[in-house]
Amino acid sequence: MLEIKAVSCIKQDRCLFDSLSFSLKAGEIMQVEGPNGAGKTSLLRIIAGFARADDGQVLFAGEDIQHNYDEFAANLLFIGHKTGVNGQLSAYENVRHWQAVHGVRDNGEIYPLLAQLGLVGLEDVPVRTLSAGQQRRVALVRLWHNHAKLWILDEPFTALDKKGVALLQQRFQTHLSNGGGILLTTHQDLTAQFAQLLTLSLEYRL
Ligand SMILES: Nc1ncnc2c1ncn2[C@@H]1O[C@H](COP(=O)(O)OP(=O)(O)OP(=O)(O)O)[C@@H](O)[C@H]1O
């Protein structure tokens, strides 16, 4: 699915990583770990094509993502630190917006889905008035409403309570068994839930 070939990244004259190579196959989950400032977010942004590597290549389905970025983007779901939720809109309106972007009509699934995510009674208030964990749950609705094969998630468990964490882990399992791939950063220990977890450790380099 994904192949990272000799990727390097330099920020503020500091080499965060150099000649980094690895691959992620369908059905695999990889956790990128390392101390603050090691370059985890920078790596995810390069793989998503939001930033250019100083050297190296990112391939998706055997093709450099820069050659046909639109096709890669159609297969990618990225949720970063900034969750992409519009705080002025309600949860319902946010989901409608994401659907509209993907040309999907309202098929009556939004309210049941928001209920599944524990947002009953909160569907129609501005998202900015919700708690941090509730706002995160709104952002994560996209994981239930998207057909992207590759998920790149920067700290997706942030602010979630135990039930939220379990719900998200369950969703990951379904995605993996459907042949999806997941690349994520998290301080959550996922080894018990994902026997097949791959780990990439970045060191803080001076
Ligand atoms: N756009 C940028 N311009 C300049 N420096 C940057 C930029 N983005 C990141 N950096 C620097 O690159 C380094 C790595 O940042 P990055 O956010 O990738 O780390 P991280 O491992 O995700 O950290 P954290 O665990 O704190 O989220 C930091 O020292 C940061 O200051």
Q: How far apart are CA 74 and CA 107, in angstroms?
A: 21
Residue 29 — φ and ψ, nearest 5°?
A: -125, 135
Tokens of 136: 């995160």
Q: What integer pLDDT is reported at residue 155 of this predicted model? A: 95
Report the atom number in ligand 1 closest to the C-alpha of 39.
18
Q: Mean pLDDT across the stretch 182-193?
A: 92
With 80 as the cut, is the pLDDT of residue 102 above it?
no
> What share of the chain in percent tops pLDDT 70?
100
What is the per-residue pLDDT across 20-55, written as a single tens digit (0 to 9) for each?
A: 999 999 999 999 999 999 999 999 999 999 999 999
Tokens of 137: 């749950």
With 90 as the cut, is the pLDDT of residue 146 above it?
no
Report the atom number in ligand 1 closest to the C-alpha of 81.
27
The closest alpha carbon to 98, from 159, 139, 70, belongs to 139
> pTM of the entire structure?
0.94
At a CB cut-off of 8 Å and minimum separation 6, what does 137 contact? Answer: 117, 118, 119, 160, 164
42 alpha carbon to ligand 1 midpoint, in Å? 6
From the CB of 180, is ligand 1 less than 6 Å away?
Answer: no
Coil, helix or strand at residue 56: strand
From the CB of 13, is ligand 1 less than 6 Å away?
Answer: no
Report the atom number in ligand 1 closest to the C-alpha of 38.
21
From the CB of 16, is ligand 1 less than 6 Å away?
Answer: yes
Residue 149 to residues 45, 53, 82, 107, 117: CA-CA distances in angstroms?
A: 17, 23, 21, 22, 22
Among 9, 11, 45, 157, residue to substitute to test ligand 1 (most atoms within 8 Å of Cβ): 11
Distance in Å from the first CA to the final CA of the chain: 32
Q: Mean pLDDT across the stretch 101-114?
A: 86
41 alpha carbon to ligand 1 midpoint, in Å? 7
From the CB of 114, is ligand 1 less than 6 Å away?
Answer: no
Dihedral-angle region of residue 42 (phi above 0 means left; psi in -120 to 50 means alpha; beta otherwise): alpha
From the CB of 46, is ligand 1 less than 6 Å away?
Answer: no
178 alpha carbon to ligand 1 midpoint, in Å? 33
With 90 as the cut, is the pLDDT of residue 159 above it?
yes
From the CB of 41, is ligand 1 less than 6 Å away?
Answer: yes
